[in-house]
Amino acid sequence: MRKTILLITLFLFTLSTNRAFAQVDADVSAHITLAPPEIPEYVQPPCPVEGYLWSPGYWAYSPEGYYWVPGVWVSPPQPGYLWTPGYWGFLGGYYGWHHGYWGSHIGYYGGVRYGHGYWGSGFFGGEWRGNSFHYNTAVCNVNTTVIHNTYVNNSVVNHSTGSSASFNGQGGIAADPTPAEQKAMSEKHVPATSEQQAHQQAASKDKKQFASVNKGKPATAAMSAAKGAKGKSESSASPKEKKSSKSAATKTPKTSEPKATKSRATKTTKPRSESRAKSSTRSTGRPSSSHSSGSHASASHTRSSGGSHSSGSHSSGGHSSGSHSGGGHGKR
């Protein structure tokens, strides 16, 4: 009997001190015995695109240890959705990760103070008004020359320091879900977008983001755009492909004319009639008769004209080859 009462008391105590786990989440993962580092302080970069929402940084875990995923501005899956960040919860000697999600209302995130509008419960960095998101510039860093859907509400600014612990439970933050958060838990949720997942994957490959290296002070605490989200989509060609394409476009292959054509185009042959006429003149010391001269001149003219035509024909062929080289490879 006494043992039964002890078990009931222990159960009620666990339930009251760990009501944070009232959210039975099938997405709880990474049961670790080592507590995650504290949430570092950092400056939020300005929102780059109207409609983007802030996804706060957090400590994720891999076989190599905890690593920091930088806070980043991301595109929501649809208008009207808000991001509930994930959180670490301690229970039964293990630290479990509760994954974040998108939904119509902010749910429970363990009371962790992520900052920049996430003060442990709810979100105060802005609100949806129809299909447009309006930013509270008292909380969020927004360039008002680019983004015009803004307002100022200083009453929601939380100036208290509070705990910087990154987990809920014994030794960390003692916070229970509010009725509004409990209601939000049962609503339709959408998991992290592919952009957010790629961002986390990129952080997991950066050794400088690991707590074992940065001692809890990550080299990159926040970013304006998700790292690794666009990947190769910015350009369909790799650097090698681009280099190869550029070389092929600018390099013009050498073209050579046939030797026979070149020889015919450049070589000049004297007609035999002209040679005989000159020979006759030299031997007699006087020009030949007008009839003979006219006859040879006419023959010379005829042959010379034929040779000129032939040379022009081959020269035209060489020009055609040059035109092919320039037209086929000169343009990109």
How far lies 37's CA from each of 209, 215, 278, in Å? 12, 9, 109
Taking residues 74-87, report their average pLDDT. 98
- The DSSP 8-state label assigned to residue 228 in this structure reads T
To the nearest 10 degrees (0 to 180), the angle between helices 259-266 and 290-329 is 140
The reported pLDDT for the residue numbered 138 is 95
How far lies 41's CA from each of 57, 70, 89, in Å? 10, 12, 21
Bridge partner residues of 59 (DSSP): 68
Q: Are residues 113 and 217 in the same domain?
A: yes
| DSSP track, 132-149 | EEEEETTTS-B-TTT---
Report the chain's C-alpha Rg in angstroms.
42
Write out pLDDT tens, residues 199-239. 999 999 999 999 999 999 999 999 999 976 543 323 223 33
Confidence grade of residue 30 (pLDDT, cut at 50, 70, 90): confident
Bridge partner residues of 103 (DSSP): 82
Query: Both tokens of residue 276?
Result: 């005989």
Three-state secondary structure call for residue 5 = helix
Please check whether residue 3 lies inside any domain of the structure.
no
Please check whether residue 237 lies inside any domain of the structure.
no
Q: Are residues 269 and 173 in the same domain?
A: no
Quote the mean pLDDT of the chain.
73
Confidence grade of residue 159 (pLDDT, cut at 50, 70, 90): low
C-beta of residue 173 within 8 angstroms of C-beta of residue 120: yes
The reported pLDDT for the residue numbered 216 is 96
How far lies 121's CA from each of 16, 117, 158, 208, in Å? 19, 9, 11, 30
Q: Are residues 83 and 219 in the same domain?
A: yes
Please check whether residue 2 lies inside any domain of the structure.
no
Q: Are residues 227 and 79 in the same domain?
A: yes
Q: Is the pLDDT of residue 95 over 60?
A: yes
Q: Which domain holds residue 272?
A: 259-329
Q: Are residues 117 and 198 in the same domain?
A: yes
Write the secondary structure of 159-182 as one string of H (helix), E (strand) and C (coil): CCCCCCCCEECCCCECCCCCHHHH
How far is the C-alpha of 22 from the C-alpha of 156, rounded, in Å?
A: 27
Q: Are residues 140 and 50 in the same domain?
A: yes
What total number of domains does the chain contain? 2
Taking residues 233-250, report their average pLDDT. 34
Q: Are residues 178 and 315 in the same domain?
A: no
C-beta of residue 88 within 8 angstroms of C-beta of residue 95: yes
How far is the C-alpha of 180 from the C-alpha of 25, rounded, in Å?
A: 17
Write out pLDDT tens, residues 271-313. 444 444 344 444 334 443 333 333 333 333 333 333 333 333 3
Q: Are residues 59 and 146 in the same domain?
A: yes
Percent of the chain whose pLDDT exceeds 70: 59
Confidence grade of residue 33 (pLDDT, cut at 50, 70, 90): very high
The reported pLDDT for the residue numbered 68 is 98
Q: Are residues 267 and 181 in the same domain?
A: no
Whose tokens are 């910087």? That residue is: 164
Q: Is the pLDDT of residue 100 over 60?
A: yes
The reported pLDDT for the residue numbered 211 is 97
- Range of weakest confidence among 20-34, 109-123, 148-162: 20-34
Please state the pTM of the whole predicted model.
0.63
Taking residues 153-170, report their average pLDDT. 86
